[in-house]
Amino acid sequence: MSRSPLRSAARGARLKTERARFELWARRLDARLRRAGGRLDLQAPHGAHFYELPDVEIHPYGGKAGTLTIRLGEHVQLGRRQILDVWAAADNTFDLGDRVTFRAGTRIQLRGGTVRIGSDSTIRDYCLLDAMHGGEIVLGERVQFGAQVALHALERVQMGDDSAAGERVSIFDSDHRHDGSQVTNYEQPVAIEPVIVGTNTFLGANSLLLRGVRMGPNGMLGGSSLVRAGEYPGGFLYAGSPAREIRPLAPELGARPAQRR
């Protein structure tokens, strides 16, 4: 027998074992969810690729009953030491397109929220995706994250196709207000407004995007920038704290100031 058939047979056996391990993991996850007031709706006809399956932290919060919906496209790659943190008694969705890849140590927190990632996207080491109370994190196709990116959604954080975030970028669609009283800060009212990042836009490392930011397509954000609520037209380089327009990326755009509130 030639080397090629041997390799093919070994690969087939490896994939069969991988599929069996994934199915066993899913059955155990469903059983644990049911004990905590939820259930699993798995839509993964192709299974998943992995070096090790995710650890799952299940909490009996959210309401009377809930469903965790997991949809996986073809050739999804789950990362080492990945953590799935779920409120069992709330409806949650984890939806991954074809060839989505996670690197090591990523954490997905679903506390009544949705994380949806488009095909051919890569989430690198130790990123945090946190969606709660109906919040949605929606990433388009071919999105690229550097290490330690953190997204927090109470309503919506969205990044378009071909967008990218460098290391340690953080995006929040909410923040606590403070009236200066002795009321504990985490009991103060929460202000919420979606954050939208356009297609083919690059966010430089260590940047922070606050609630209400809307960045247009084909733009760039310099590293360590602080972006406040407002409209940031596409095709420009923004940088600074707070971020401001630096220059158009294409000369024909000309100068056009960002509109901030």
pLDDT at 1 over 50: no
Higher pLDDT, 185 or 144: 144
Least confident stretch, 47-56, 102-111, 172-181, 247-256: 247-256
Q: Which is it for strands 190-192 and 174-176: parallel, antiparallel or unpaired?
A: antiparallel
CATH number of the domain residue 117 falls in: 2.160.10.10
When the pLDDT of each residue in the chain is averaged and rounded to a whole number, the result is 94
Contacts of 108 by beta carbon, 8 Å cutoff, 6+ apart:
82, 83, 84, 85, 94, 115, 129
Cα–Cα distance for residue pair 246/244, rounded to 1 Å: 6
Overall average pLDDT of the 58-80 stretch: 95
Return phi, psi of residue 23, to 5°.
-65, -40
Residue 31: is it exposed, middle or buried by C-beta count within 10 angstroms (0-12/13-18/19+)?
exposed
Provide the domain count of the chain.
Answer: 1
Q: Dump pLDDT digits (tens) for 95-127.
A: 999 999 999 999 999 999 999 999 999 999 999
Cα–Cα distance for residue pair 198/232, rounded to 1 Å: 10
Q: Are 183 and 201 in contact (CB under 8 A)?
A: no
Q: Are 116 and 95 in contact (CB under 8 A)?
A: yes
Q: Are 203 and 162 in contact (CB under 8 A)?
A: no
Strand partners, 233: none
Q: What does the block give as tokens for 4?
A: 């090629």
Domain span holding position 253 = 3-260
Cα–Cα distance for residue pair 159/129, rounded to 1 Å: 13
Overall average pLDDT of the 228-243 stretch: 98
Contacts of 209 by beta carbon, 8 Å cutoff, 6+ apart:
169, 170, 171, 172, 195, 197, 203, 215, 227
Cα three-residue angle 205-77-4, rounded to 5 degrees:
130
Contacts of 64 by beta carbon, 8 Å cutoff, 6+ apart:
37, 89
Overall average pLDDT of the 73-101 stretch: 98
Task: Decide: pTM greater than 0.85.
Answer: yes
Residue given tokens 């399956």 in the structure block: 53
Contacts of 45 by beta carbon, 8 Å cutoff, 6+ apart:
none
